[in-house]
């Protein structure tokens, strides 16, 4: 096999593992939900979902510097600077441990308030929720640390290793939850098993990174130069992640406030059904980020344009393949999934929502290329503008057109994000020499 064919095979493998990583959790939840809901009961199941959501939100906030670390690890790896790689990994460990612990403490302090404001919940369930959240706070710290080792594997373009750990952990976690529910135990026991599995997974991943990268130490550090590097890029990455977390929930709260709880059920199902159009494309093409970050000073401008053209063509084909069935088959999909009555109310909204996520999915290639070039500030600002415009459009259209108006409000987000291709086009038309990261940033 030639080097080019081997490299292409590696990219396909990484993309496949990235997609498998993305779809594994919703697939496992979908398969296990009927059994868990039946065995745990609606209230215990809801407590588990709420506790898991709180942990997931905390992890996203505490591990927001992962994109910055991935970029710099890949860059140092590309220049064969092993000391720089180890310094970034240890510094990210220190940052994530500090942020994760801080957020866990804040959540822990809010537990009494959260529990006391649960409506129509018995004292026993309040205690279960309080204990589940307390375990979740510890889990949050473990997951924040674990994300460092996942990031390191991806920076070395070993998405297969990272995905195998992640998928195996999810299978073990959901499998344990099913077994625990089958034996008649509740949410607290499930959270304890989840914590134990997470600790084992993080330990194994730490050992894998330590051995594969031949690191001298994995003790957390806060190296001043590395902190400056990570914060210079990571602060905007964190803002972008926080905006994504906000817009992923704020639109639903806004629809509920404007149209009532009945409408939010239709709207949420439409968003849930259309979300994989963007999610699967992003998961498959995320390999662009470490690949380009490691080779930014080595590829010529013409080579960069060629990489962009290939990746964008794949991007368009994937979006079309995923979006077309949902856009044109929305009524049939909802009829099979949710029933005729639900379908008649929501199929137009689903088609429009799918168009919105298709437009958003078209930005994936440009997003990862600009990330590799270090233009995170530009991406963060565009995402903030897109999110603000989307929420404003929903606020204007939803009261007049109902859930169809709310879905139409999402359409504005994608085109605004796709404006990133304007500065990217300028950067890709540098014609002389081999572009360095500094020259690419200057062009932007």
- pLDDT tens digits, 232-249: 777 777 777 777 766 666
Average pLDDT over residues 346-362: 92
The yes-or-no verdict on residue 7 having pLDDT over 90 is no
> Which of the two residues, 19 and 81, has the higher pLDDT score?
81
pLDDT of the residue at 316: 94
How far is it, in rounded angstroms, from Cα 271 to Cα 252? Answer: 9
How far is it, in rounded angstroms, from Cα 174 to Cα 249? Answer: 24
**434: DSSP letter:** P
> Which of the two residues, 379 and 122, has the higher pLDDT score?
379
319-322 contacts, C-beta under 8 A, 24 or more apart: 319/277, 319/281, 319/358, 319/361, 319/362, 320/358, 322/276, 322/277, 322/280, 322/281, 322/358, 322/361
Confidence of residue 441 (pLDDT cuts 50, 70, 90): very low
pLDDT of the residue at 437: 47
Listed residue (307, 439, 314, 312) closest to 373, CA to CA: 439
**412: DSSP letter:** T
* Residues found in the chain: 444
How far is it, in rounded angstroms, from Cα 112 to Cα 180? Answer: 27
Residue 92 lies in a domain: yes
pLDDT of the residue at 431: 40
Residue 300 lies in a domain: yes
Confidence of residue 103 (pLDDT cuts 50, 70, 90): confident
How far is it, in rounded angstroms, from Cα 181 to Cα 189? Answer: 9
**Helix or strand or coil: residue 24?**
helix
> Which of the two residues, 1 and 330, has the higher pLDDT score?
330
In this structure, the answer to whether residues 247 and 160 fall within a common structural domain is: no
Look at residues 163, 190, 222 and tell me which one is the last residue of a structural domain: 222
In this structure, the answer to whether residues 170 and 311 fall within a common structural domain is: no
How far is it, in rounded angstroms, from Cα 23 to Cα 283? Answer: 9
In this structure, the answer to whether residues 148 and 214 fall within a common structural domain is: yes
Residue 308 lies in a domain: yes
Helix (H) or strand (E) holding 357: helix 340-361
Residue 110 lies in a domain: yes
**CB neighbour burial string for 369-405, b if at least 16 within 10 angstroms, e if fewer:** bbbbbbbbbbbbebbbebbeebbebbbebbeeebbbb
How far is it, in rounded angstroms, from Cα 161 to Cα 20? Answer: 12
> Which of the two residues, 366 and 48, has the higher pLDDT score?
366
How far is it, in rounded angstroms, from Cα 162 to Cα 159? Answer: 5
* Total structural domains within the chain: 2
The yes-or-no verdict on residue 104 having pLDDT over 80 is yes
Listed residue (394, 117, 411) closest to 263, CA to CA: 394
pLDDT digits (tens, 9 = 90+) for 176-226: 999 998 998 888 899 999 999 999 999 999 998 898 888 888 888 888 888
pLDDT digits (tens, 9 = 90+) for 289-328: 877 877 776 777 788 888 888 889 999 999 999 999 999 9
How far is it, in rounded angstroms, from Cα 357 to Cα 242? Answer: 19
Look at residues 171, 189, 222 and tell me which one is the last residue of a structural domain: 222
In this structure, the answer to whether residues 54 and 151 fall within a common structural domain is: yes
- 320: Cα within 13 Å, side-chain hemisphere: 6
Question: Do residues 116 and 160 touch, judged by C-beta distance below 8 A?
Answer: no
What are the Cα distances from residue 215, in Å, to 84, 222, 291? 11, 17, 22
Listed residue (318, 415, 315) closest to 365, CA to CA: 315
In this structure, the answer to whether residues 433 and 375 fall within a common structural domain is: yes
Range with top average pLDDT, 64-68, 113-117, 138-142: 138-142
In this structure, the answer to whether residues 236 and 218 fall within a common structural domain is: no
In this structure, the answer to whether residues 179 and 237 fall within a common structural domain is: no
User: Residues with Cβ < 8 Å from 6, sequence gap 6 or more?
Assistant: none
Confidence of residue 442 (pLDDT cuts 50, 70, 90): very low
In this structure, the answer to whether residues 319 and 214 fall within a common structural domain is: no
pLDDT of the residue at 444: 44
Residue 393 lies in a domain: yes
Question: Do residues 198 and 142 touch, judged by C-beta distance below 8 A?
Answer: yes
**Helix or strand or coil: residue 231?**
helix
Residue 227 lies in a domain: no
In this structure, the answer to whether residues 190 and 244 fall within a common structural domain is: no
Look at residues 222, 253, 287 and tell me which one is the last residue of a structural domain: 222
Range with top average pLDDT, 17-26, 163-172, 435-444: 163-172
- CB atoms under 10 Å from CB of 299, counted, come to 16
pLDDT digits (tens, 9 = 90+) for 148-187: 898 888 888 787 888 888 899 989 999 999 999 899 888 8
Confidence of residue 261 (pLDDT cuts 50, 70, 90): low
DSSP 86-139: HHHHHHHHHHHHHHHHHHHHHHHHHHHHHHHT-TT--HHHHHHHHHHHHHHHHH
In this structure, the answer to whether residues 133 and 99 fall within a common structural domain is: yes
pLDDT of the residue at 248: 66
How far is it, in rounded angstroms, from Cα 57 to Cα 42? Answer: 22
How far is it, in rounded angstroms, from Cα 288 to Cα 424? Answer: 15
pLDDT of the residue at 291: 79
Specify the pTM. 0.69
DSSP 67-79: HHHHHHHHHHHHT
Give first-to-last CA distance, the chain, whole Å. Answer: 38
pLDDT of the residue at 58: 64
- Min mean pLDDT across 28-37, 85-94, 238-247, 359-368 is at 238-247
pLDDT of the residue at 132: 85
Tokens of 391: 């929420």
> Which of the two residues, 315 and 28, has the higher pLDDT score?
315
Residue 261 lies in a domain: yes
Residue 313 lies in a domain: yes
Q: Which domain covers residue 131, as residue numbers?
A: 1-222
In this structure, the answer to whether residues 294 and 411 fall within a common structural domain is: yes
How far is it, in rounded angstroms, from Cα 4 to Cα 363? Answer: 27
In this structure, the answer to whether residues 296 and 395 fall within a common structural domain is: yes
pLDDT of the residue at 57: 66
**CB neighbour burial string for 95-123, b if at least 16 within 10 angstroms, e if fewer:** bbbebbbebbeebeeebeeebeebeebee
């Amino acid at each position: 096999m030639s080097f080019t064919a081997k490299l292409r095979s590696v990219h396909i493998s990484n993309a496949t593992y990235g997609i498998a990583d993305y779809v594994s959790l919703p697939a496992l939840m979908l398969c296990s939900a009927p059994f868990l809901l039946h065995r745990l009961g609606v209230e215990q199941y809801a407590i588990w979902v709420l506790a898991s959501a709180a942990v997931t939100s905390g992890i996203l906030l505490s591990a927001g510097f992962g994109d910055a670390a991935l970029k710099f690890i890949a860059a140092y790896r590309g220049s064969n600077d092993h000391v720089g790689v180890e310094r970034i990994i240890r510094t990210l460990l220190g940052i994530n441990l500090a942020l994760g612990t801080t957020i866990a403490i804040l959540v822990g302090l809010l537990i009494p308030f959260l529990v006391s404001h649960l409506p129509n919940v018995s004292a026993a369930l309040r205690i279960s929720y309080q204990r589940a959240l307390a375990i979740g706070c510890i889990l949050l710290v473990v997951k924040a640390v674990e994300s460092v080792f996942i990031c390191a594997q991806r920076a070395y373009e070993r998405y297969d290793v990272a995905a195998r750990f992640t998928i195996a952990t999810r299978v073990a976690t959901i499998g344990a939850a099913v077994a625990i529910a089958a034996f008649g135990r509740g949410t607290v026991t499930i959270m304890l098993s989840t914590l134990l599995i997470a600790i084992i997974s993080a330990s194994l991943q730490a050992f894998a990174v330590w051995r594969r990268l031949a690191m001298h130490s994995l003790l957390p550090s806060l190296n001043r130069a590395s902190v400056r590097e990570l914060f210079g890029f990571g602060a905007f990455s964190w803002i972008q992640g926080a905006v994504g977390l906000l817009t992923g929930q704020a639109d639903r709260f806004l629809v509920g406030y404007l149209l009532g709880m009945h409408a939010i059920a239709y709207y949420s199902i439409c968003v849930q059904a259309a979300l994989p159009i963007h999610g699967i494309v992003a998961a498959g093409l995320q390999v662009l980020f470490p690949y380009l970050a490691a080779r930014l000073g080595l590829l010529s401008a013409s080579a960069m344009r060629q990489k962009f053209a290939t990746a964008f063509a794949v991007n368009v084909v994937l979006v079309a393949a995923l979006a077309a069935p949902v856009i044109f088959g929305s009524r049939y999909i909802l009829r099979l999934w949710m029933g005729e009555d639900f379908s008649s109310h929501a199929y137009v909204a689903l088609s429009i929502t799918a168009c919105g996520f298709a437009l958003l999915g078209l930005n994936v290639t440009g997003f990862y290329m600009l990330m590799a070039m270090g233009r995170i500030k530009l991406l963060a600002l565009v995402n903030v503008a897109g999110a603000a415009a989307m929420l404003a459009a929903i606020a204007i259209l939803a009261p007049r057109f109902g859930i169809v108006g709310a879905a139409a409000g999402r359409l504005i987000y994608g085109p605004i994000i796709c404006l990133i291709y304007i500065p990217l086009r300028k950067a890709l038309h540098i014609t002389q020499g081999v572009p360095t990261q500094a020259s690419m940033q200057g062009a932007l």
